[in-house]
Amino acid sequence: MKSITNLIVNLSLITLFSCILSGVVLAEKTTEIYKWVDKDGRVHYAARPGDSSAKKMHLGSKTFRKTNKESQEVDAEKKQNEERAKLCQDSKDTLAKDKKAPFLNRYDEKRKLKVRLTESETQEAFLQAEKEISYWCNPPQKAEEEPEAIEQ
């Protein structure tokens, strides 16, 4: 008798949670939110547009996201800035590691082995690494190209 009661309770809980989850999903899909800025510069959010400049928004996982091209450009720029910050830190870490090393190597394709860099080649590699740090760690310039990677 106890197992039947447990089964009924478990099925009831599963049904309840399924109904709640379905309701949340349906409510999220049908909700329309509008955003606009009034003449005093205040930002408003509402279920109905309060101004002709109101833009339709949709619910995201945690925040409202605009559905227009401007939002996509901002997201792309943010992603690009995050990638630049990572490349900046990676370049700094690589230079610090290389400066601690007793010597640097490069791979010789013809002989299929590592070859130790000369002192002048090592200094040139450090200069190139500093250029890469300067490129990745400073704001991007419009007509600038990415630096060439150095072989080690």
Q: What is the pLDDT of residue 64?
A: 54
- 65 bridge partner residues: 58
At position 41, the amino acid (one-letter code) is G
Q: For the chain, give the secondary structure using H, E and C.
A: CHHHHHHHHHHHHHHHHHHHHHHHHHHHHHCCEEEEECCCCCEEEECCCCCCCCEEEEECCCCEEECCHHHHHHHHHHHHHHHHHHHHHHHHHHHHHHHHCCCCEEEECCCCEEEECCHHHHHHHHHHHHHHHHHHHCCCCCCCCCCCCCCC
Q: Which residue is listed with tokens 């630096």?
A: 147
Q: Where exactly are the structural domains of the chain?
A: 31-67, 72-137
Smallest CA-to-CA distance from 136 within 122, 146, 124, 148 is with 146
pLDDT tens track of the chain, all 152 residues?
678 888 888 888 888 888 787 776 665 555 677 888 888 888 888 878 877 788 877 665 344 555 556 667 777 888 888 999 999 999 999 999 999 999 999 888 888 899 999 999 999 999 999 999 999 998 766 555 555 555 54
At position 53, the amino acid (one-letter code) is S
pTM of the model: 0.45
Q: What is the pLDDT of residue 61?
A: 38
Q: What token pair was written down for 32?
A: 């329309």
Contact 50, 36 (CB under 8 A): yes
